[in-house]
Amino acid sequence: MQYIKNQLPLIISVIKSLDIFGQSITLNINKQKAYKTAFGGISSICLIFILITIFQSNIVDFFKKTDVVFSTKTEFDPDPAQIKMNIQNYMVAFSIEQINFVTNPMFNITIEQRQ
């Protein structure tokens, strides 16, 4: 019991150092820029624990890649209006992953615009 009483100031000092709610002051108190209390340290520890508890399940689901929701909707217009494509309203990009594509291509891509 005596050991705990001797270590109590050290324990309180550690808890005070964890205070994220400490108020800054213009005059330094004990050469510190913020006034921190044991209550603020305990409150900070509780807040951090609550946040970790709340987000723990989301973080685990993220790394396990579970509960993924994916939805897609495709709509086709049976009679689309004619679109005049030019450099300002059309852009296309292709990516082909093939070794030696430049010397031995497997694909020939041709784009043709008709009027």
Residue 115 pLDDT: 65
**Is residue 24 classed as helix, strand or coil in its secondary structure?**
strand
Residue 111 pLDDT: 75
Q: Assess contact for 35 and 23: CB atoms under 8 A.
A: yes
The alpha carbon of 61 is separated from its chain's Cα centroid by a whole number of angstroms, namely 14
Q: Which residues, 6+ apart, have CB-to-CB distance to 76 below 8 Å?
A: none
pTM: 0.38
Q: What is d(CA 3, CA 9) in angstroms, rounded to the nearest whole number? A: 11
What tens digit of pLDDT does each residue of 51-79 get?
988 888 888 888 887 777 778 888 888 88
Residue 72 pLDDT: 85
Q: What is d(CA 25, CA 35) in angstroms, rounded to the nearest whole number? A: 7
Mean pLDDT by 10 residues, the chain (115 residues): 83 84 68 79 90 86 78 84 80 75 74 71
Q: Which residues, 6+ apart, have CB-to-CB distance to 21 below 8 Å?
A: 40, 43, 44
State the burial class of residue 23 (Cβ atoms within 10 Å of its Cβ: 0-12, 13-18, 19+). Answer: exposed
